[in-house]
Amino acid sequence: MREIRKINRNSLLKKMFIKICRLFNYEIIDQNNFYLPVTEQCLDEDLSIVGKRSLTMPMGNVEITRKVKSLTIILRTCANVHLLTQSKRRIFDKEKSEYTLRTLNSIIKSVNFSKNIFKDINLEIIIIDHNSDQKTIDKMKLLISKQFFKSQIIPLNMDNFINNINPINEKKEKVTFNQMSNMTNIHQSLLLSKKCDDLVYFVEDDYIHSIESIKEMILTYEKLSSILKKELILCPTDYPYLYTKTVNSKIFLGDKKHWRTVNETLCTFLTSRIIIEKYWEKLDKWCKFEHYPFEKPLNEIYETEYCLSPIPSLAMHCTNINSSFGLSPNYNWKKIWDENETR
C-alpha cells in the first residue's frame, strides 16, 4: 500500500511539473524512451511549429521572431534551350523539356509534402516561360491544375527588356540570344518579386528537388533569421565546388539539416523581398550587362549578407556531370530523378 501511494504521489508531481513546463514554454525529455511529455511527441516526429518555435534536440527551443508570411516560387522555364553556355550533354541525356517537367513536378511534390505548414503561409507558383513548345506548356498546366495553391504561367515578352541589355559583355564579346533570353527572364522574375509579400524562391528549370526541400527551407529561414536577426539567402544545392576550395564556412543547424555559408551560387536561390529591395540597383544592373562570371553581382551581395547552402543537398542541379556546379555528393539522385517522372 505504501508503494502504491509513493507511485501515485510521484505521478502527481510529474503531472504538475509537466503543466508548469507547458505554462513557461519549457520542454523536457524522458531519456529512457526519447519522449517529450510537454508536447506529447517522440524525437522522430516534427518538433518545430512554423511561425512559433524551432525545436531541435538536444539544442533546445528557438522562439520564432521572424515569421514567414508568404512564399512565391518563380520558376523560369525554357524547354527549347538545352544548355545555356555549353555544348555538353546533361546527366541522364534527355531532352530539355524532361528536366523542366521533372523540376516542376518535384517542387509540387515538395509543396504538397509540406502542405500543413501553408495553413498560415500564402503560397503561389509563377512560371515565366520563354519559347517552350505547346506540348510542354500543356503538361505544365496539367501539373499545376487542381492544386491547393495559386499558380499561373506567364509568357516572357523579350521586347519589353531586350533594348535595356548591353549587347557587349564584360569579356568584350557579343551577348548571345540565349543569354539575352535568360537575362530578360531574370529581369521579369525580379520585377514580380518586388510585388510579393515576403519570401521569393527563384528557380531555374533544371533543379530537381527532394521532397522535404521546401519545408526545410521555410523552417530554416524562420529559425536562422530569428537567431541572426537578419534576412537571409538560401541556396538549395550543395555544389561540388565547395569541396574543391579551401574557403572557411560558418556552420549553422537548420531544421533538419546543417547549413553553411557560401560565397558563390548560380541563379536558383530563396530570399526575401527585403533583400531584393535593398540590393535592387545591383540586381537591376545584373539583368542589363553580362558579367563574367554571370552571377558576379549576385555573389557580391554574399559579401555582406548570409548566403547558406544545405549539407547534404536539397536539390539536384541537372547539368553536365563534370560541372563544378553539378551533382552534389553523397546522395541518391537517380532515385529522385526516377520519382519525378511525369506521364
In a domain, 58, yes or no: no
pLDDT of residue 25: 61
pLDDT of residue 15: 65
CA atoms within a 13 Å half-sphere pointing along the CA-CB vector of 15: 6
pLDDT band at 65 (very low <50, low <70, confident <90, very high): very high
pLDDT tens by residue, 160-195: 999 999 999 999 999 999 899 999 999 999 999 999
Q: Are residues 41 and 98 in the same domain?
A: no
Q: Is 15 helix (H, G, I), strand (E, B) or coil?
A: helix
pLDDT of residue 54: 82
Mean pLDDT for the chain? 88
In a domain, 28, yes or no: yes
pLDDT tens by residue, 271-285: 999 999 999 999 999
For residues 210 and 18, the model is more confident at: 210
Q: Are residues 81 and 192 in the same domain?
A: yes
Cβ atoms of 90 and 319 closer than 8 Å? yes
In a domain, 65, yes or no: no
Q: Which of 85-89, 163-167, 172-176, 251-255 is least confident?
A: 85-89
Q: What is the mean pLDDT of residues 321-329?
A: 83
Q: Are residues 123 and 81 in the same domain?
A: yes
For residues 183 and 39, the model is more confident at: 183
Q: Are residues 103 and 242 in the same domain?
A: yes
Q: Residue 184 sits in a domain of what CATH number?
A: 3.90.550.10
In a domain, 93, yes or no: yes
pLDDT band at 215 (very low <50, low <70, confident <90, very high): very high
pLDDT tens by residue, 332-342: 889 999 999 99
Q: Which of 161, 167, 97, 158 is nearest to 130 (CA)?
A: 158
Q: What is the mean pLDDT of residues 57-65?
A: 79
Burial of 297 (0-12, 13-18, 19+ CB in 10 A): middle
Q: What is the mean pLDDT of residues 76-83?
A: 81
pLDDT of residue 7: 38
Give CA separation, 138 vs 81, 95, 97, 98, 243, in Å. Answer: 18, 16, 12, 13, 40
Give CA separation, 49 vs 1, 44, 55, in Å. Answer: 44, 15, 8
Domain with 84 in it = 70-339
**Taking the model in full, what pTM does it have?**
0.89
pLDDT(127) > 70: yes
pLDDT(6) > 60: no
Q: Is 141 helix (H, G, I), strand (E, B) or coil?
A: helix
CA distance 328 to 96: 20
Domain count, the chain: 2
Q: Which of 157, 153, 205, 203 is nearest to 180 (CA)?
A: 157
Q: Are residues 74 and 7 in the same domain?
A: no
Dihedral, 323, 326, 331, 333 alpha carbons, nearest 10: -110
pLDDT band at 33 (very low <50, low <70, confident <90, very high): low
In a domain, 144, yes or no: yes
Tally of CB atoms within 10 A around 168: 12
Q: Which of 72-86, 103-117, 225-239 is least confident?
A: 72-86
Give CA separation, 56 vs 33, 170, 174, 217, 223, in Å. Answer: 17, 46, 51, 15, 10
Structural domain ending residue among the three candidates 45, 61, 80: 45
Q: Are residues 157 and 207 in the same domain?
A: yes
Q: Are residues 313 and 259 in the same domain?
A: yes
β-pair partners for 30: 35
β-pair partners for 126: 74, 152
Q: Are residues 225 and 334 in the same domain?
A: yes
